[in-house]
Structure 1
Amino acid sequence: MKKYGSHFLFLAISITLFYCKTNKKVVTQQTTATTEIVKPDTVAPVPGTSPFIRPENTIARMQVENGFEVKLVVAEPLVSAPVAMQFDDKARMWVVEMTGYMPDTIGTGEDIPNGNIVILDDRNKDGVYDERIVVVDSLVLPRAICLIENGILVAEPTNLWFYEIKNDKAVKKTLVDDKYTEGGNVEHQPNGLLRAMDNWIYNAKSDKRYRKRGNKWEIEHTHFRGQWGITQDNYGRLYYNNNSQNLLGDYFPAGLGAFNKNQKGVAGYNEKSVANNKVYPIHPTPGVNRGYMKNILDDSLRLNDFTAAAGPVIYRSALFGPSYEFNAFVPEPSANLIKRNILDERGYVVKGEQAYKGKEFLASTDERFRPVSLYNAPDGAMYVLDMYRGIIQHKTYLTPYLKDQIGKRNLTQPLSSGRIYKIVPKNTESRPVTIPDKADELVKLLGHANGWVRDRAQQKLIDGKYNQTLPALREAVKQKNNPLLAIHALWTLEGLNSLKSEEVVAWLSSPEWTYRMQALSVAPYMMNPSSYRQFASAFETMVNENDTLSAPYIAFICKSMETFDSTASHNLLTKLAVKYPSNRYVSDAVISSLQDKEELFQNEITASLADPNILFNKQLQKAIAGIKNAQGNRNPETLKKEFPKGEALFTSICQTCHGPDGGGVRSLAPPLNQSEWVTGNKDKLISIVLFGLTGPVKVNGHVYQTPEVSGDMPGIGYDKDMPNEDIAQLLSFIRKSWRNNADKVTTEEVARTRQKLTGREKAFTEAELNGI
């Protein structure tokens, strides 16, 4: 969820659910999910309010692309506050209910353990889910789930748990990571748990990935990515977004290039897959957190641009037809719509455009329609999780303006709702594919037209250790009629620890980029003392033959090769730097493999690349400057002891956008380290932190504005319960951190400025601050 703008952060309030007196806690509902809904207690709508719409009437409020229809598959009381889900082999939905999020506008009772993991089943196979089984209850703000082997991963901040499941009941609980969410408030914590093609599990708002090997869980560092929701395409590339960005993505495998702590940002990661952030609501949407600001709303009070972009999906089935191949859909819950984008790849670069101008794939006039996550499904449809809420902004960033909107239009109640829809072409039968147990059938499904089916077949073969399929998988890797079958077979072999180096090397020499790309992606996992020479020789040949597409991959992989042959690795990096000195992807990939060797490499390569203005030299110099800056940083542990409340606030609120090193985060926020706004006039800094700053803003001579950063930084002064002492400690902490060395901010100074600004509702502009 999002720090800037009115993010959809789930305002899940207590749910009224029906529980049978069985150990499974099963709820059944006859025939349909809409005919037996009990209308919640609520006052009659008054003019200007946003009325509660009963589930059976919500679709009538929607406009969907011609040729498509929306079907309601489940609603309250079977589900409430759905935020994430997974389908199992029987096409049942395992849904995360974030029941405790923001029970009211001040967050009373958010720490109550009332979240659930539930299974929803369509027993009579009529397309409407009619049974509810509570698998895990008493969770505090759960946010993500992943099915793996004999259980499920569940993200419940700050922890990541693995529950073993037997007969739809949790029988054992194991802690996988007690720091799954380090810092960040409820709007800024990891989520997603996407089990990707490369057999690792990835997250949004995170730089970690996870993998289960035997009884042990591995945790690795990757690039930091996204905010809410994560998805992959047919080739395993990851996509995500942040609140104001339509779609971001990685051109290269997520496990590569995050090695160099001295390097800030690597080309090919966190790239703008779709740069256009315009949205087209079909009704006024004044209920966004910064609706009072210029250009947030148009003259008809409709949102102009994304402010709460949520869990995206790359559609990966044939049901929608050829024109929907390689399409990305992104929900915008604050504007009650779903965006469609059409992607295109040229080599390793993926860029896209919005499918329409002036309209959306789906939009609703119901302000409580809050699509927060989208999914591919066993039947080829696209599924939509709708929290069905009036309020979607967390208390930390809730402005007086939005509180007023909530009150005027009676947006708080009711609080026990939630809907799940599926979108399908009209006049089509969308029947789910169930995943069988038979080995030969599973291998065939690796080539299915539905990407969800392919993914799940791969996962089941690995989870079940179907080693009897190895001969069939090797044949599938060799065939050329179905590239997707070959690719999934390749990664299934990797997951079964049975992929051979010669199989990968053979693909490295393929004339088809589709195969070379996958071979390069899997190569780091295949590097060992007996195989690295084969790969070194293949890479040398590819570089000599001017395989430009492979060049960044090879530079990334040199880090893995270095363990076995540092000379071969170094020679390849040198050759790539000299051969592609103006290619930003190759340059950054080379530097990613040079941690703490940057200056030595610079000295060695000067004879070949003498011009300091060549892109490679500029990028290398940035890394070297980063090293020198870090050497001048102050001891964070000392500051933590001096300003414990300030450090805690920074970690929970500021760090996610400004970075733990204070250097800023791409697409989110500018640097705090050596910023004149931090170390300069105290009144200006206090004012910014209390009531926010709307861009553009100049920091150290550089003007930061969208899309380089978010256009709006929220303040924390709207929260009247935030103590002045805590704010003073926060400001003192950042004024003393890194290479900053300004004097402290006192509690009295914060109180004085806060009193002076009593009644203010708007964020500051740079011009206003310069007048202070």
Structure 2
Amino acid sequence: MYRLLLVPAALLLAFAVAADGQPFPVAGLPKLKPLEPAEAAKAFEARPGFRVDLAAAEPLVRSPVAMDFDENGRLYVAEFPEYNQYASPTPSKARGCVKLLEDTDGDGRFDRATVFAELDSPVAVACWAGGVFVGVVPDLWYLKDTDGDGKADVRRKVLTGFDRDKAGEAMLNSFRWGPDNRFHIATGLAGGNLKPADAPDAKAVLVRRQNIRFDPRTGGFEPTSGGGQHGLTLDDWGDTFVCDNSNPIEFLAYDAKYAARNPYVVAPSPVVDVNAAGRYPQLRRISPPEPWREARTRLRKDKLVPGSDEGGQPFGFFTGATGVTVYRGDAFPPEFRSNIFVGEVANNLVYRARLEPKGLGWSAVRADKDREFLASKDVWFRPVQFANAPDGCLYVVDMYREIIEGAAFLPPQLLALVDVAGGIDRGRVWRVAPDGFARPKPPQLGRATTAELVGLLAHPNGWHRDTAARLLYERQDRTAAPALRAVAEGSAWPVARMHALHALAGLGVLTAGEVVPALGDPDPRVRVHALRLAEGFGLSAGLSNKLQALAADPDPRVRYQLAFTLGAFRGETAETLLTALARRDAADPWVRLAVLCSVGDRGGAVFSRLLRDAGGRGAGTTEVLLALAAQTAAANRPDEVAEVVKGIDALPDAERALARQLVQAFASKLPPAARPRFAGLAAGKTGAILTDLLADAAKTAADEAATPAARAAAIRTLGLGSFADAKALLTAALAVRQPPAVQLAALEVLGRFDSPEVSAVVLAAWPGMSPPTRASAAETLLARAAWVTALLDAVEKGTVRPTDLDPARVQLLQQSADGPTRARAAKLFAGVGLARRAEVVAKYQRALDLPGDAVKGKAVFRETCAACHKLEGVGEAVGPDLASVKNRGSDAVLTNILDPNREVLPQYYSYLLVTDADVTLTGMIAAETANTVTIRKADGTSETVQRVNIASLRSTGLSAMPEGLEDKLGLQTAADLLAYLRSIR
């Protein structure tokens, strides 16, 4: 513990005194010294039965963030000393590099390091063909040593366009070899617009919130499902997991390539949180409080610096989860196989969970109840990544830094207490091994024959299997085919049979003759992979028969994959099987998704098949029918539209309720331009139903005795008709006496109509609107260019005050791509919301000293923050997790509130989306899939747009959290809000 001395004001933050009477600096240098490697090893507490050995340390390595073992057991390490140096007053000139580490005496500790290549900020590395691929934003490089001196003399840029995260925490990372003969690469939160480096004129591929699957032989790539921040892992069967700061274990439930087949599918996010313990599992941290936290708390308690003393205590939940890794080695006891490990860099520990099947996904169940698998008393221990190793153990990449979070997230007075370069010249690689472990002789797979590599596909250590599979793909030795076929047909180990099938595919010699028998493999996981491989073949009679049999497969994961695979085939067989799967498994939302992805332009046919068989519809079939009706309308293919209308017309009167649902779902997605043709087709029952729906909606919308929710629903139905028919009701719904839910529904529906009269309706009601309703009205008016002009006219006339608009929207108007709009906005909103952030932050420091009322602060949160943040079940989890952010201290939180653009993580940028109907939406991307983008607008509402309907989408470079919140927060209100955030446990 420390005690503080009273010192002259000029030295107030300069010195403190430790308990032993020795002074230590508070500003600029760490107060707890880093431990030398031998001492750091003693600071670990591992699960009983395990030990931690040092495999490498400084000066051989410094600031390591990634590593990969080559086929001969040598270790390539990516070093990232540039991390956080942007925030240093005296940035280090140290440059990143990739090092090659070797254990020359075989004692299990690397003793020789060669700088393989110097690079700027390398963050990922993977071995290939005697060299390495290295992630160096914005590029992916291939480096190779051809003259044997240990240094790369081949440097080839392969891909370009990866985006940079200023903090360095969320860029491309985690290159992992998959059973499909591809590297799976996480793009982090930054994502990018990728293209081959040697094709500058090629169209860039957007990979925001998606990962990529990369072919190292051709340089080709394709987007796949993604998410997470830093960390990606595959299990033995290729199931993929990612993590982010607060969500340690997330499962990718489907491959985005399947959703991309049908651009009209509204697909849920593939990222599923499977951590059974949730975000707050009470981690068993054993390290002391960070020195800067303790120093800050002491200074505050003694009133030597402003602010409350809530900080300084270790916290027991995830705020820095990284490097998620499935253990696939053979050195640990069998019960540890397929366990999943996560580094918690902020708590100096390694978390472990067991993967247990749950439905079509997984549940990650905490494995260590009263302790963590590995924890350190050393606050400098930063386990950023892991690797399954040739010796079967789990290796830990320890970046070993004083501070691991983005420095710009700390306010200046806090940065004065730390050294952002602390540990820049240090770093460790640790080996976690079971007690009594005897390290085997390092492998020499580079010298293995092709036959020996085939044999290794059945090795119990996943590293050996992956490396053998990679080398087979590298060598392209087709003489391996007979041995591979023998493994695929006769190996006793299912995972070897799976690898052999993919190896045959990688050599280009896989035939339907190997795939069809594999579809009947006794192991369902092999059948799943055989289905994926079957997508490359035509629908022969033999394959067709197998697919029909699999529609009744006892394993739901096989049927799930079959539903996706059927999208690769045409013809009646595929339609019949998709219908059968919808009847049997539609109760599961993931199977419904797979069916909808695969119907493609056969939506009308599958819709008719399901609709005709009323007695055979199972649970969830109605949801499939509604989705098919909606996506068929959105696609607007005349033959499918006609088939849907015909099907609805043929429904018996006993199913009129279903018919009404189907008409509403269909009409809601039909493009306005297609409505005249639809009116001609729907002269029968379908047209009559639509007429009845609109008549009923008009009656309920006008009925002030009805509940606001019922009226709001009815108003939304009015959007299925014409503006002329709905105008009077929508105008009345905006009257000042109407409930907010009714007003907001009217604004939502008005925004759907492309009529110049809409702006007049909205602006006429503006004076009587409450601030929240005005926020939604502004979003409506800003959606179309003509309405923006009308809004600016109203500002000019004084009907709308400049301060009525959110500062963020004012800023966007002032940055409009349209010159006249930009000029008018600059004049009309001169001085609005443009206070200098540094001055605002300095002014509001007084709020840190005021006593706050947590109860009042909760009300402030509901009104001001809940549209994007969620706490205690209130609000929307769109923005950062405030429960974790608050552990940085109230001063940091206050800075982030008042100066949101000081540093913005990529997922919290504001975007401008323009549809093909010239509608503009502005806000944060709340969700994103291969098919859709969901924009969270400033008024707290969200809108999902199919990618096929997006004309343009660009980042504003600004935080979605607006500047200017001080206009809504007085000093006492800010103090109340901070008190509430501190009260959260």
Aligned counterpart in structure 1 of residue 83 of structure 2, from 98, 101, 115: 101
User: What amino acid is aligned across from residue 487 of structure 2 in structure 1?
Assistant: A
Task: Find the aligned partners of 1:467 and 1:266 in 2 and give their Cα distance.
Answer: 41
Task: Find the aligned partners of 2:778 and 2:97 in 1 and give their Cα distance.
Answer: 42
Aligned counterpart in structure 2 of residue 452 of structure 1, from 463, 481, 488: 463
User: What amino acid is aligned across from residue 173 of structure 1 in structure 2?
Assistant: R
Q: Does 1:136 align with 2:321?
A: no
Summarize the alignment of residues 477-516 of structure 1 with structure 2, pairs less than 5 Å apart: 477-516=488-527
- Higher RCO (CA < 8 A, seq sep 6+): 1
User: What amino acid is aligned across from residue 50 of structure 1 in structure 2?
Assistant: L
Q: Does 1:62 align with 2:44?
A: yes
- How many residues get paired? 665
Q: Could you say what secondary structure the match of 1:519 adopts? A: helix
1:472 to partner: Cα distance: 1.2
Task: Find the aligned partners of 1:501 and 1:455 in 2 and give their Cα distance.
Answer: 24
Task: Find the aligned partners of 1:77 and 1:185 in 2 and give their Cα distance.
Answer: 25
Q: Could you say what secondary structure the match of 1:217 adopts? A: coil
Q: Is the 8 A contact 2:403 2:419 kept in 1?
A: no
Identical residues among aligned pairs (%): 24
Q: Kindly tell me: are residues 377 and 182 of structure 1, through their superposed partners in 2, closer, same or farther at Cα, counting changes over 3 Å?
A: same
Q: Kindly tell me: are residues 68 and 758 of structure 1, through their superposed partners in 2, closer, same or farther at Cα, counting changes over 3 Å?
A: same
Q: Does 1:340 align with 2:509?
A: no
1:504 to partner: Cα distance: 1.6
Task: Find the aligned partners of 1:136 and 1:677 in 2 and give their Cα distance.
Answer: 56
Q: Could you say what secondary structure the match of 1:231 adopts? A: strand
Q: Whose helix fraction is larger, Structure 1's or Structure 2's? A: 2
Deviations 1:152-180 (A, max 9, x none): 21111111122343233323333322123
Deviations 1:100-132 (A, max 9, x none): 11126358759x782101101111111111111
Deviations 1:653-698 (A, max 9, x none): xxxxxxxxxxxxxxxxxxxxx99699596269989x999x989835
Q: Kindly tell me: are residues 493 and 508 of structure 1, through their superposed partners in 2, closer, same or farther at Cα, counting changes over 3 Å?
A: same
Q: Is the 8 A contact 2:225 2:270 kept in 1?
A: no
Q: Does 1:282 align with 2:293?
A: no
Deviations 1:621-665 (A, max 9, x none): 786899878989xxxxxxxxxxxxxxxxxxxxxxxxxxxxxxxxx
Report the equivalent of 1:16.
Answer: none
Summarize the alignment of residues 225-624 of structure 1 with structure 2, pairs less than 5 Å apart: 225-251=227-253, 256-266=258-268, 269-272=271-274, 274-277=276-279, 278=281, 279-285=283-289, 301-345=313-357, 348-396=360-408, 398-400=409-411, 407-408=416-417, 412-431=421-440, 432-435=442-445, 436-524=447-535, 526-527=536-537, 529=538, 533-544=541-552, 548-561=556-569, 565-594=570-599, 602=607, 605-608=610-613, 614-617=622-625
Q: Is the 8 A contact 2:329 2:392 kept in 1?
A: yes
Deviations 1:421-457 (A, max 9, x none): 1010112202233323222222221111111111101
Task: Find the aligned partners of 1:499 and 1:404 in 2 and give their Cα distance.
Answer: 63
User: What amino acid is aligned across from residue 114 of structure 1 in structure 2?
Assistant: R
1:488 to partner: Cα distance: 1.9
Aligned counterpart in structure 2 of residue 157 of structure 1, from 110, 113, 137: 137
Report the equivalent of 2:18.
Answer: none
Q: Is the 8 A contact 1:49 1:410 kept in 2?
A: no
Task: Find the aligned partners of 2:327 and 2:778 in 1 and give their Cα distance.
Answer: 44
1:549 to partner: Cα distance: 3.2
Q: Kindly tell me: are residues 701 and 322 of structure 1, through their superposed partners in 2, closer, same or farther at Cα, counting changes over 3 Å?
A: closer
Task: Find the aligned partners of 1:601 and 1:574 in 2 and give their Cα distance.
Answer: 6
Q: Kindly tell me: are residues 629 and 504 of structure 1, through their superposed partners in 2, closer, same or farther at Cα, counting changes over 3 Å?
A: same
Q: Could you say what secondary structure the match of 2:317 adopts? A: coil
Q: Which runs of 5+ in 1 are unaligned?
A: 1-42, 633-673
Deviations 1:518-558 (A, max 9, x none): 2123332x32x4x5554333212221466533221111112
Task: Find the aligned partners of 2:474 and 2:89 in 1 and give their Cα distance.
Answer: 40
Q: Kindly tell me: are residues 731 and 428 of structure 1, through their superposed partners in 2, closer, same or farther at Cα, counting changes over 3 Å?
A: closer
Deviations 1:45-99 (A, max 9, x none): 5699332111111011111111111111111111011001100112111011112
User: What amino acid is aligned across from residue 587 of structure 1 in structure 2?
Assistant: R
Q: Is the 8 A contact 1:159 1:181 kept in 2?
A: no
Q: Is the 8 A contact 1:80 1:418 kept in 2?
A: yes
Q: Is the 8 A contact 1:152 1:165 kept in 2?
A: no
Give the TM-score normalised by the residue count of structure 2: 0.59
Q: Could you say what secondary structure the match of 2:458 adopts? A: coil
User: What amino acid is aligned across from residue 284 of structure 2 in structure 1?
Assistant: Y
Q: Could you say what secondary structure the match of 1:558 adopts? A: helix
Q: Does 1:737 align with 2:922?
A: yes
Q: Is the 8 A contact 1:385 1:420 kept in 2?
A: yes
Task: Find the aligned partners of 2:436 and 2:524 in 1 and give their Cα distance.
Answer: 38
Q: Is the 8 A contact 1:208 1:219 kept in 2?
A: no
Q: Kindly tell me: are residues 76 and 546 of structure 1, through their superposed partners in 2, closer, same or farther at Cα, counting changes over 3 Å?
A: closer
Q: Kindly tell me: are residues 613 and 605 of structure 1, through their superposed partners in 2, closer, same or farther at Cα, counting changes over 3 Å?
A: closer
User: What amino acid is aligned across from residue 186 of structure 1 in structure 2?
Assistant: G
Return the index of the structure with the highest Cα Rg: 2
Give the TM-score normalised by the residue count of structure 1: 0.74
Task: Find the aligned partners of 1:288 and 1:595 in 2 and give their Cα distance.
Answer: 57
Q: Could you say what secondary structure the match of 1:420 adopts? A: strand
Q: Is the 8 A contact 2:775 2:805 kept in 1?
A: no
Summarize the alignment of residues 18-57 of structure 1 with structure 2, pairs less than 5 Å apart: 49-57=31-39
Aligned counterpart in structure 1 of residue 101 of structure 2, from 117, 120, 141: 120
Report the equivalent of 1:642.
Answer: none
Q: Is the 8 A contact 1:231 1:240 kept in 2?
A: yes
Deviations 1:469-511 (A, max 9, x none): 2211111111242223222222211211122222121121223
User: What amino acid is aligned across from residue 276 of structure 1 in structure 2?
Assistant: G
Report the equivalent of 1:146.
Answer: 126
Summarize the alignment of residues 693-708 of structure 1 with structure 2, pairs less than 5 Å apart: 697-698=866-867
Q: Could you say what secondary structure the match of 1:310 adopts? A: strand
1:211 to partner: Cα distance: 3.4
Aligned counterpart in structure 1 of residue 806 of structure 2, from 677, 682, 706: 682
Q: Is the 8 A contact 1:390 1:413 kept in 2?
A: yes
Task: Find the aligned partners of 2:909 and 2:334 in 1 and give their Cα distance.
Answer: 53
Q: Does 1:76 align with 2:84?
A: no
Q: Kindly tell me: are residues 125 and 489 of structure 1, through their superposed partners in 2, closer, same or farther at Cα, counting changes over 3 Å?
A: same
1:566 to partner: Cα distance: 4.5
User: What amino acid is aligned across from residue 287 of structure 2 in structure 1?
Assistant: H
Q: Which runs of 5+ in 2 are unaligned?
A: 1-21, 189-208, 298-308, 636-667, 673-773, 780-803, 810-832, 842-859, 886-892, 914-919, 924-934, 940-955
Q: Is the 8 A contact 2:357 2:363 kept in 1?
A: yes
RMSD, aligned α-carbons: 4.7
Deviations 1:224-250 (A, max 9, x none): 232111111111211111111121123
Task: Find the aligned partners of 2:215 and 2:559 in 1 and give their Cα distance.
Answer: 31
Report the equivalent of 1:657.
Answer: none
Task: Find the aligned partners of 1:54 and 1:199 in 2 and give their Cα distance.
Answer: 41
Deviations 1:561-581 (A, max 9, x none): 2xxx25443333222222222
Q: Could you say what secondary structure the match of 2:83 adopts? A: coil
Q: Is the 8 A contact 1:268 1:585 kept in 2?
A: no
Task: Find the aligned partners of 1:345 and 1:194 in 2 and give their Cα distance.
Answer: 23
